[in-house]
Amino acid sequence: MFRKLMSILPLLLPASVIFEAGVNYYVKLIQTEEKRAKTYQLPDDATEYRATVNTYTEFGNYDHIIVGAGSSGAVIAARLCENSTKRILLIEAGGNETDLTDIPAMGTLAQTLEYNWNYQTTPQNRACLLNDNRRCVYPAGRGLGGSTIINSLIYSRGSAADYNVWGLENPGWSFGDLLPFFKTVENYKIPADSCYHGYDGPVNVDYPRPLLNAKSSAFVFANQELGIEVGDYNGANPLRVGVVQSNIIEGQRASTGRAYIQPSLKRCPNLEVLTRSYATKVLMNPTTKRASGVFFARDKKFFVAKATNEIVLSAGVYRSPQLLMLSGIGPSDQLTELGIPVLRDLPVGQFFKDHLAYSGLAFYTKRGSEPKKLEQNIRDYLNSKGQLTTTGALALAFVQNNRSEPVRRPDIEIALFEFSQDYGFPYKVNDPSKLVSVVPVVLHPKSLGSLTLNSSDPFIYPVIDPKFLSDTDGEDRKTMLLGISYSLNLLNTVAFKGIDAKLVPVHLPQCKNYAYFSSEYWNCHINHLSGPFNHPFGTCRMGPDGVVDHKLRVHGVENLMVADASVIPVSISGHTSAPSMMIGEKAAHIIRFG
């Protein structure tokens, strides 16, 4: 990437000349990509990969094949190639990371370009009602690093109680079992509960610089006034508030592609990475139920790669279940209806859950910042600080509404976001730099959705229906109302009064007939302004009655594993990026050592 080149060129040219060349390069890059994004059409299917010839060419034989180079797959490939006697093939539909995706603040822009699969849900009845056709949007990363090249870079593992529930039916998945794998991922660069963290892993965990501004500081101390402990929310106590812990390194995005794949390509001649290659099906023996290869499309041709040992699907919450069903593994009635021969009747896609977030709370403060020109922001970025080194996420608080529970397990997250003038929040205010968004999130949703095939055509996206706020007892809505109430209580704290924080009213025409702040008003707002926090999980759920067992092996199928967020069987009191990396480490350990 360009910054690596800048570290070499001073041997040939003065550093100041190289630095200014870098500034000019990034100005042109960002302006060009912003212009391109205005006309770029995000995909609504994968037909760009469709082959023009229907015959399959033998691609080669490997010990292991991994499908998907995202949060988990990149980790698995890097770990497996450490055994130099094994040939590893990693198949990824996207391309390489770029100088644009390296910039944390460009994650939102990258989501409007080819780095995003752009999944959408079916029309919803109780969420996303302001969106076109009432569909929720699901960004999903496409490229080496998967969603870690477009996400908010928040490193949040969840609570020990989450994993202890996970481990009840799945031996080896309780918190004590998994903490070593989290530590193996981590290279912590911040003050934290040291015995809970790793300090020499591939993935940097750091604070953006500068560490605090007036708004994030006020948020932290306001939550403290409301009884939340300040500290490491990935440590001993999950009920804490703190500045966002981010996957950044020297101000750049620390994706799994950067942390795991790039170093592996230098040290692992036995690792072959195929980009722009779209997996279509797993090669299965219908008699023995053994997986032996992967079909994929590349350069408008079809190929099949063979594997003597485990094939691992790490294609994510949407693609891994789709590949299973296309291969004859899934609900028999659905597969039969689409003419797909059933090899194993399993509940693939039948457990889809996600955290629900409400985006209607914006606070206007007296603390803003002088807008900087793009050139100055780039100068800051090249010095590993400033606006471009952040994604807008400032701080997180984790709240347990039911304090009578015997274990510490947050049920509400309160996230603080800030938006620059260049990428403004959709509220009309005089100075966007004085605005913050406070987002309450339901961490343990009761509503259960599904993912099903739309077609037997592998290039057609699956049908995603999260069924937000559909739980029969209305617990998700009650929890969201509690999160909104908690967020509004921040306005009554000394800390928030110190920055003169005021709620920015949001007047929706759809809710105009309800009294301001009435229960009907908030329920209407929740329906229109709630949507996914983009932490889906469970479509290949782990468990005795699920899709994979505690060794990540597909039930009743030999040689086939799933390892990504789709296997998570319980809701996590945090985000899914960190657990997905942990799953990658655990999967590689299982393959190598049993």
Residue in the block written with tokens 């343990």? 444
DSSP assignments along 535-590, one per residue: --B-TT-BSTTSSB-TTSBBTT-BTEEE-SGGG--S--SS-SHHHHHHHHHHHHHH
What is the residue type of 492? N
CA–CA separation, 364 and 504 (whole Å): 6
Task: Yes or no: say if 491 and 504 are a contact pair by the CB < 8 Å rule.
Answer: no
Question: Do β-strands 435-442 and 344-345 pair in parallel, antiparallel, or remain unpaired?
Answer: unpaired
Beta bridge partners of 449: 352
> Token pair for residue 573?
């009191």
Question: Do β-strands 412-418 and 344-345 pair in parallel, antiparallel, or remain unpaired?
Answer: unpaired
Chain CA centroid to CA 29, Å: 25
Q: Which helix (H) or strand (E) holds 502?
A: strand 502-503
Task: Yes or no: say if 367 and 217 are a contact pair by the CB < 8 Å rule.
Answer: no
Three-class SS state of 196: helix
HSE, CB side, 13 Å, CA atoms: give it for residue 451.
30
CA–CA separation, 431 and 450 (whole Å): 42
Q: Which helix (H) or strand (E) holds 29?
A: helix 15-39
CA–CA separation, 340 and 343 (whole Å): 9
> Token pair for residue 154?
């928040």
What is the residue type of 13? L
CA–CA separation, 551 and 548 (whole Å): 8
Chain CA centroid to CA 229, Å: 26
> Quick one: which of 92, 166, 123 has its CA closest to 537?
166
> Quick one: which of 588, 536, 540 has its CA closest to 567?
540
Provide the Cα torsion 229, 230, 232, 235; round to 10°: -20
User: What residues are annotated to the active site?
Assistant: 535, 575
CA–CA separation, 47 and 58 (whole Å): 22
Task: Yes or no: say if 294 and 304 are a contact pair by the CB < 8 Å rule.
Answer: yes
CA–CA separation, 102 and 258 (whole Å): 9
Three-class SS state of 112: coil
First to last CA, the chain: 38
Beta bridge partners of 154: 246
Sheet of strand 88-91: strand arrangement: 271-274, 88-91, 64-67, 311-313, 560-562
Task: Yes or no: say if 205 and 155 are a contact pair by the CB < 8 Å rule.
Answer: yes
What is the residue type of 143? G
CA–CA separation, 569 and 557 (whole Å): 20
